[in-house]
Structure 1
Amino acid sequence: MNILQSIRSFIRTADAGSLAAAARTLGISPAAVGQNIARLEAHLGVRLFNRTTRTLALTERGALYLAEVRHIERDLQRAQAAVTDPDAMPQGRLRVASTAAFGRHVLAPLLPALQARHPRLEIELLLTDRAVDHAREDVDVSLRIEQQLVDGIVARPIAQVPFVVCAAPSYLAHAGTPPTPDALRDHRCLVFRYPVDGRVLPWGFVRDGMRFDAEVRPALVCDDIDALAAMSAAGGGIARLAAFVAAPWLVRGELQVLFATGDGARTSPEPMRLFLCVSDRRDLTPKVRALMQALLDALPEAWRVDAV
């Protein structure tokens, strides 16, 4: 029995939820995947899955076994990367996790070109605002904001994304334009509630090199930043949006930037710091580096932090 192939079949089936889906990622038939798992169960003397005609679910022992063997495939990839050319062709499965808004607006559009450049890559994108567990969820690399960083993760700064404070011309026409962030307390503000822990994120600014949080009066609260942008464009109030979220609304004239920005401004919104994260420095494999470089190439030069 090829024990490694059997373990790979087991891991991929547990992750995908079916023999057919696992077979597609492995490039073998569903029957071969099923045979590999049957051989593994016979070898261990335990049942790893409960099977019906419609469902496939891990047994209690199967879940325990998965937690113990999940690292094996990753360790083999690390070992191969350690002894091969670091500039080798990126290949294999690349599972990427990203904050939802950044993944939707920035990362997703560049992945087709990355895969076209490296056709042996199998890319999977997971969009979530929680801090994923790389080992448990078999994630190769994640893009995280500062609030998502946790101990034990290797985090490299890759971008500083500007925030834009903006409102619809219709709102400003009847409510007036705040001259400074201090005047936000007198306006309707649309604030973002962080979906993971329920915090309302503060509106940070930098004035003459000193950071401060503006006092805002929440009029509408939402845990989806794109919904906040739509509500602001509809005249709901002032929103604080990442530049990549605000850009299409600004181009169409549906939102208008508040406060002076640029090097000569005394006060500007504090930028969002974005990090590229792996479990271990050995996880900076050719496929992860290819993603990193594609992302740096796609970002506006003013946003980039050289992580390569």
Structure 2
Amino acid sequence: MDSLRGIESFVRSVEMGSIAAAARHLGISPAAASQNIARLERDLGVRLLQRTTRRLGLTDSGQVYFERVRPVVHALEAAATAVSALNDTPRGRLTLSTSVAFGRHVVAPLIPGFARLYPQLSVELVVTDRAVDHIAEGIDISVRFAEQLEPSLIARRLVTVPMLICAAPEYLARRGTPRTPEDLVHHDCLLYRLATHGRLFRWTFLKDGTLYEPDIKPKIISNDIDTLTSMVLAGAGIARLGAFIADALIAKGLVVPLFQEAPVAGGSSVAGSTTVAAHTPFTFYACTLDRHSATPKIRAFIDYAVAALSAR
């Protein structure tokens, strides 16, 4: 049993790049993981890892051993998952990852109700706009939009969200109201920079069934949607906001939605908005590594989220 703990700690440390990350994944302390590996090395009579303050590397013996035992560790994990799947009760830890704004405004409010349904389950929510690695970071489900999808992931649609072009009444009183997307070239636009690849978030519109992008002037750029929202409220310019942020602000009269003449192509607002828009909506997906990773806890959360979001 001690050897098995050491092998698991060793394999996860190499896969995740550090003993601390492996310990978090295994639910033990870094000291315990390090001791497990040290005992394994003593039993084998060889050094497996080269440790420095900045990196973790494999010795020649460690490389050979890692290649032989890694499939064993994954086979044991798959066997445990298969056995657990026989029991439909979600249990253990569920780790979710989502973008900051969607996580804050949409996913986080879902978790308390979900957690009450499954008392044997604990939930960790990781909110970040960078790309996450399911294996290295121990992510069970990542919530992504279309531009973040990867071929290696299994994606299930969660919800389609209208995107609204908005400005504060003070800005529109001072600069005038654009009547068409082409008018945006004469206005100060607040753009979001995607952390995953560093490009600016595109403002696309539908015209006669065809997608197009008008010329716009990026006056202010940020990699955080809530920061851009605060600047919109301060009258800094016009921004493209998800309905899960914009709806409440519109209801309070704090921002005004623009270009409301044509209906959105598909989808409904997460926040229950009845407004429509001529620009394209945003679809979010729940992503897992593969179909075999759909354990009871993963299926339970995705089903819960789809039902909760479709009811709004």
Pick from 282, 292, 296 the counterpart of residue 302 of structure 2: 292
Pick from 5, 17, 22 the counterpart of residue 20 of structure 2: 17
Asked if residue 123 in structure 1 is aligned to residue 120 in structure 2, the reply is no
Structure 1 residue 156: Cα displacement: 2.2
Asked if residue 277 in structure 1 is aligned to residue 287 in structure 2, the reply is yes
Cα distance in 2 for partners of 1:118, 1:66 equals 37
Cα distance in 2 for partners of 1:85, 1:34 equals 31
**3-state secondary structure, aligned to 2:79:** helix
Structure 1 residue 227: Cα displacement: 0.7
Structure 1 residue 259: Cα displacement: 1.8
Bigger Cα displacement from structure 2, 293-302 vs 263-272: 263-272
- Is the contact between residue 86 and residue 285 of structure 1 (CA under 8 Å) also seen in structure 2? no
In the other structure, the counterpart of 1:185 is 185
Q: Describe how 1:203-222 pairs up with structure 2 within 5 A.
A: 203-222=203-222
The alpha-carbon distance between structure 1 residues 115 and 267, as it changes in their structure 2 partners (threshold 3 A), is: closer
Cα distance in 1 for partners of 2:91, 2:208 equals 47
For residues 240-261 of structure 1, the C-alpha deviation after alignment (integer angstroms, 9 at most, x for no partner) is 0111222343233221111216
For residues 35-89 of structure 1, the C-alpha deviation after alignment (integer angstroms, 9 at most, x for no partner) is 53332232343254859xxx8x764228968898777666544434435556611
Q: Describe how 1:96-245 pairs up with structure 2 within 5 A.
A: 96-245=96-245
The alpha-carbon distance between structure 1 residues 272 and 178, as it changes in their structure 2 partners (threshold 3 A), is: same
In the other structure, the counterpart of 2:4 is 4
For residues 171-218 of structure 1, the C-alpha deviation after alignment (integer angstroms, 9 at most, x for no partner) is 111212112222212211111111232211210112343222222111
Amino acid at match of 2:224: D
- The runs of 5 or more residues in structure 2 that have no matched partner are 266-274
Structure 1 residue 93: Cα displacement: 2.3
- Is the contact between residue 25 and residue 138 of structure 2 (CA under 8 Å) also seen in structure 1? no
Bigger Cα displacement from structure 2, 63-72 vs 252-261: 63-72
Q: Describe how 1:49-68 pairs up with structure 2 within 5 A.
A: 50=51, 59-61=56-58
Asked if residue 46 in structure 1 is aligned to residue 56 in structure 2, the reply is no
Structure 1 residue 103: Cα displacement: 1.5
Structure 1 residue 112: Cα displacement: 2.9
Cα distance in 2 for partners of 1:267, 1:33 equals 54
- Is the contact between residue 168 and residue 233 of structure 2 (CA under 8 Å) also seen in structure 1? yes
Q: Percent identical across equivalent pairs? A: 39
- The runs of 5 or more residues in structure 1 that have no matched partner are 303-308
Provide the TM-score with structure 2 as the length reference: 0.79
- Is the contact between residue 155 and residue 275 of structure 1 (CA under 8 Å) also seen in structure 2? yes
How many residue pairs match? The answer is 295
Cα distance in 2 for partners of 1:73, 1:95 equals 20
For residues 3-22 of structure 1, the C-alpha deviation after alignment (integer angstroms, 9 at most, x for no partner) is 33334455489767299x75
Provide the TM-score with structure 1 as the length reference: 0.80
Cα distance in 2 for partners of 1:155, 1:298 equals 18
Cα distance in 2 for partners of 1:256, 1:239 equals 11
The alpha-carbon distance between structure 1 residues 50 and 174, as it changes in their structure 2 partners (threshold 3 A), is: same
**3-state secondary structure, aligned to 2:27:** helix
Bigger Cα displacement from structure 2, 196-205 vs 258-267: 258-267
